[in-house]
Amino acid sequence: MTNAWNDFNDARQNANLIPKGTIAKVRLTIRPGGFDDPSQGWTGGYAKRGQTGAVYIDAEYTVLEGKYARRKVWSMIGLYSPKGPDWGNMGRSLVRGILNSARGLSDKDNSPEAQNARRIAGIADLDGIEFVARIDLGTDANGDEKNDIRQAVTRDHKDYAAAAGSLAAPMGFAPAPAYASHQPAYAAQAQQPAYATPAEQQDFAPPQHQQPTHAPQQPAHAPQQAAPAPVAGARPTWAQ
């Protein structure tokens, strides 16, 4: 290595990437796409629909603590693909992991309380949720490397407690602040392309690295679930 000021051959490539395998606490913010399908439980304009009909959650993850605090990762959570069930199943698996991580659950816990904690009233319940993630490397629609999040880290992992902080609650259960059902008060926005996973690269236009220009407003009404149990209510169709 020369490290000469005018010789950049030994400069690290793509220095903005977070190293693969980094475990960090993140906050999920949904960039709404304005697509609804009430029959699937996709309401409130949170879902996006791609040019080929694939439906997904356009996710922005912000690292909350540690060396990479305030860094952002953009990714997608699959809901449906016309190519088959695999992409939607991957999305369901990720959401299960996110709920486990956010609520301090072991993935092996099948108690009634844990099963209730893995139910949500709608996509809106995921907006703002905090959990521990494993940051990965993937490629965008152009074949360029980018950070991705495909896995949530649960309390079963040896590094969970150190990264989770206040998420790691006793009794293996910690309801997240976004746990109650709410409906968005903003108007659905025009659809924009987002990052595609390698399996879905043909479904979407090239990614855009824009920051969201809005933030979902706070709900104007109280959750319809019965108090005091935060997990009451029937399982939504899309989460089944």
pLDDT, tens digit, 9 for 90 and up, residues 26-81? 999 999 999 999 999 999 999 999 999 999 999 999 999 999 999 999 999 999 99
pLDDT of res. 220: 45
Distance CA 106, CA 96 (A): 11
> Comparing C-alpha atoms, which of 194, 176, 38 is closest to residue 102?
176
pLDDT of res. 225: 45
pLDDT of res. 36: 97
**Is the peptide bond preceding residue 228 cis, with omega within 30 degrees of 0?**
yes
Distance CA 124, CA 47 (A): 10
pLDDT of res. 27: 98
User: Using an 8 Å Cβ cutoff, are 33 and 189 in contact?
Assistant: yes
Residue that wins the pLDDT comparison between 189 and 67: 67
Distance CA 104, CA 94 (A): 15
Name the pLDDT band for 211 (thresholds 50, 70, 90).
Answer: very low
Domain boundaries of the chain, sorted by first residue: 22-202
Q: What is the pTM of this model?
A: 0.67
Report the pLDDT averaged over residues 214-239: 44
Name the pLDDT band for 6 (thresholds 50, 70, 90).
Answer: confident
Report the pLDDT averaged over residues 130-151: 92
User: Using an 8 Å Cβ cutoff, are 56 and 76 in contact?
Assistant: yes
Residue 171 has pLDDT above 80, yes or no: no
pLDDT of res. 78: 96
Residue 120 has pLDDT above 70, yes or no: yes
Report the pLDDT averaged over residues 176-193: 37
Residue 168 has pLDDT above 60, yes or no: no
Task: Out of 116-120, 176-180, 203-207, 209-213, give the one with best mean pLDDT.
Answer: 116-120
Q: How many CA atoms lie within 13 A of 170 on its CB side?
A: 0
> Comparing C-alpha atoms, which of 31, 20, 163 is closest to residue 101?
163
Strands (DSSP E) found in the chain: 22-30, 35-37, 42-49, 55-63, 72-80, 130-139, 145-152
Residue 224 has pLDDT above 90, yes or no: no
Residue 229 has pLDDT above 90, yes or no: no
pLDDT of res. 84: 95
Distance CA 164, CA 66 (A): 11
Tokens 């407690």 label which residue?
161
Distance CA 155, CA 173 (A): 10
